[in-house]
Amino acid sequence: MPTLNRRQRIGHAKDLYLQELRALYNHAREVPDPDSTQFDEPDAWRKVRNDPDISASIDKSLTLTAGLDWEYKPASDRPADILAADIMTDLTKEISHFHEARKQLATGDFRASAWGFVSGARQFRTVLDSMTPRNWWVPTAIRPVDKFRFRLVRTDEGKIDEPIKTDWMIGNILRGDFSFLGANEEAYIVHTHAPAEDTLGHGRGILEDIFTFWRIKEGIIAKQALAIRRWAAGFIEVEIDEEILSSEDSDPSEIVAKTLDEIEIMRTEDALVHGKGQKWTIHDWPAQGGAMFEKMYNILQKAIDRRILSSVLPTGGGGEVGSLSRADQEADQMDSTMQARSGCLSESVDDRMAVLIWKRNRQQIQLELEARSLPAAKRPKFQIIKKAIERPLEDLDRLKKAQDLGFPITEKMVSDAGHIPIPGSGEKVLTAPVQAPQGPAPFEANPTNGNTHFTARR
């Protein structure tokens, strides 16, 4: 076997993985994924992520969707339900790199689906302020699992009067077969984007929309790279004496080829040397070509940004394309989209991870409730905290207008709206100097020591 360098070994390993993965599939009972982009181009996601501009927009979307903060919402305001939510929070905090795991699951919005496996172990420990250690099942990590290892298959017998039933299977490359998730199904988190009847349960990702634009954009970049040298160097017009070209001892094609070789050498030396009878003229390329490429590139990138973030201005260029009010409007639109995606991701995590933690610790939670003389509790709901865009100056202006209309405004309302803490007792309060308003004649202002004094004319 020939020796392969590192790049070839990596590519060879990927090819072997895909070959072994495809060899596992039996299409007789499989429900095919209608997304042809990722199966025709297995590296589509990696190629798009290698684009700096697109990758920046994707990272912003994933970060906003995953959210920085999360919580368990109690089933009610009963002490038992609140305590159960606190226990679940204390256990979930043990997940390593939980934010990155949520970002990985959020890639399902782009790739139609994303999978993660919740791993954990039994630990003899306490929770919250409990003094009694118990044998808790503690989640420790959410490991990403390649979506191509899963396939959806029909489990019904194919009878006309029987509803169609489907179930997920996972491929094991070492064993060379597929198997149903079985008892481990509750440990697999699957986040599916836009599941619908026409996607056959697989979902439809944003990558399918932006990949076509990415192809065009990459083609423009490749052509522009080839044209940059031509635009930068310009072209040289060479006039050769007709007598030399028409001479019987010379071949015109050889003379032209020799001249072009001489030009290539002279370009590297930044000098042109030619015979006295020859005329060489350097021409600059017009800039229209570069401007056309740049304009087309920006049009494609803005279309991709708009599909990923539902906006253009929050990614930059506000001074070029719109006003501040339009930027605020698009920021609100992006915020609404990201909050909707966060809500879907919250449901995906709650359906699997939260249920798993609750089931495996149900007995221990009940013991903690009984130790505090509390009744049984209902399972809390996991959710990513959605934070709306804050505009304190607009909120303060709104309060001022409400006060002018006669609505009662409290100090706390102003403090919360402007994010201005209320001074504590004993703290010194600074006051701005009050200046008397300047009026028209017959009064005139005489500034002295930074204060304004007024004297009347006689």
Sorted by sequence, the CB contacts under 8 Å of residue 255 that are 6+ apart come out as: 240, 244, 245
Quickly tell me which residue has 């039996």 as its tokens. 26
Q: State the burial class of residue 151 (Cβ atoms within 10 Å of its Cβ: 0-12, 13-18, 19+).
A: buried
Convert the pLDDT of each residue in 89-104 to its tens digit.
999 999 999 999 999 9
H or E segment and range at residue 55: helix 52-66
Is residue 245 within 8 Å of residue 252, measured between CB atoms? yes
**Phi, psi at 5, each rounded to 5°:** -75, 180
H or E segment and range at residue 383: strand 381-384
Q: State the burial class of residue 238 (Cβ atoms within 10 Å of its Cβ: 0-12, 13-18, 19+).
A: middle
pLDDT band at 1 (very low <50, low <70, confident <90, very high): very low
The Cβ of residue 210 has, within 10 Å, a number of other Cβ atoms equal to 26
d(CA 82, CA 88): 10
| pLDDT value for 349 | 96
Convert the pLDDT of each residue in 430-449 to its tens digit.
776 766 666 555 544 454 44
Convert the pLDDT of each residue in 273-302 to its tens digit.
766 666 766 665 555 566 777 788 888 888
Query: pTM of whole model > 0.75?
Result: no
Calculate what percentage of the chain has a pLDDT beyond 70: 74
| pLDDT value for 455 | 41
For residue 184 the two structure tokens come to: 């481990």
Q: Domain ranges in the chain? A: 17-211+335-384, 408-456
